[in-house]
Amino acid sequence: MTLPLLPTAVVGSYAMPAWLERAKNDYLHGRLSRRDLDEMHDAAVKAAIKDQETAGVDIVSDGELRRDNMVDYFAVRLSGVEVDRTSKRSYYDFFDSVVRARLAAAPLGLVDDVAFLRRFTVRRPKVSVTGPHMLVKRIRNACYPSEEAFALDLARVLNAELRRLAEAGAEEIQVDEPYYTGFPEDLPWAVRALNAMVEGVAARVSLHVCYGNRYGKPSWEGSYRCLFPAILEARVAQLTLEFARRGEDDVKLFAEFAPPFALGLGVIDVKAPEVEAPALVAERIRRALELVPAERLAVNPDCGLLHLPGDVAFAKLCAMVEGTVRVRRELGVRC
């Protein structure tokens, strides 16, 4: 699929239906079989894809609805990581996980997720993968001499998975690193790990950095200035950031530092239930275009839509697309 000017995308997750939340908890506590949960995952993913397509989003994901959270989906698949499966009461909690042996570069199973997504959409498929920095902050280290060493070995394993994803047709791959803003002192080695993770991956790779979105609340606050200049070394095609909730002052950093990557502009506040008017979305895009060329700008929500009710998430995507279409028309693009 050829993308239009100002392509629209989801960041990754989509609204979690209440029935799927109940099913995940039932499975966690042994009240539901794996087969039944998988069937429910399939149904939820199909519905999430349909919502994105109906809203008019150009780049779609599977809603990450098979995942319990950003960490456990990977921790349980990493050979060398020991997971205490009795350590959480709700599916969305984090397992107590610890790396005890050097990681083996075995497939993590994300290729199956991409294959399912591609079967049910004609839009450009996108998959998000939690990056090594966040994973080392959540998986306890009982093997490597440092967080950096752990992250670099994670990058080796994740690089193999990203290459498999690209071969399977994942045209858009996003690395999620929300902890960059919480631990900016780590950026020199964190960016090295990121670059090792994406090396040689034959897909368009983006990096998403936000301020956290745990239960619909930020984990910290601040300015994206803390990312610069270290983030300029990131070998990615796009940096996707949160702006709608916080305001757009940090867009000026793209004019100040002239980074080599495009900007994914957050125009939808995923932490607020109010649905943005398309006119507000359009105005946010226009202001960004004063600093970033249209050819280097993409449009997306601030973060994942996981914690929003389904009708609100869908309405926000519709507003995002309609506001973007208005600006495209102003730029002379036929929609």
Quick: pLDDT tens for 91-109. Answer: 999 999 999 999 998 899 9
Confidence check: pLDDT of 3 > 90: yes
Is the residue at 335 inside a domain?
no
Is the residue at 8 inside a domain?
no
Give the contacts of 186 (CB within 8 A, at least 6 positions apart): 133, 147, 179, 180
**Alpha carbon distance 62, 50 (integer Å):** 10
Give the contacts of 304 (CB within 8 A, at least 6 positions apart): 10, 11, 12, 13, 14, 64, 213, 270
Residue 168 has what pLDDT?
A: 98
Which helix H or strand E contains 316, and what residues bound it? helix 310-330
For 331, phi then psi, to 5°, come to -90, 5
Is the residue at 176 inside a domain?
yes
Quick: pLDDT tens for 57-73. Answer: 999 999 999 999 999 99
Is the residue at 152 inside a domain?
yes
Count structural domains, the chain.
Answer: 1
**Alpha carbon distance 124, 236 (integer Å):** 18
Is the residue at 274 inside a domain?
yes
Is the residue at 3 inside a domain?
no
CB 16 within 8 A of CB 306: yes
Is the residue at 28 inside a domain?
yes
Count of CB atoms within 10 A of residue 44's CB?
A: 21
Look up residue 270 and give its two tokens: 């995923």
Count of CB atoms within 10 A of residue 330's CB?
A: 12
Range of the domain at 238: 18-330
Quick: pLDDT tens for 310-329. Answer: 999 999 999 999 999 999 99
Name 125's bridge partners.
60
Q: Summarize the confidence of residues 276-298 as an average pLDDT.
A: 98
0.95 exceeded by pTM? yes
Give the contacts of 29 (CB within 8 A, at least 6 positions apart): none
Is the residue at 1 inside a domain?
no
Angle at 231 between CA 229 and CA 236, to 5 degrees: 140
| DSSP 8-class letter at 245 | T
Count of CB atoms within 10 A of residue 232's CB?
A: 14
- What CATH number corresponds to the domain at position 165? 3.20.20.210
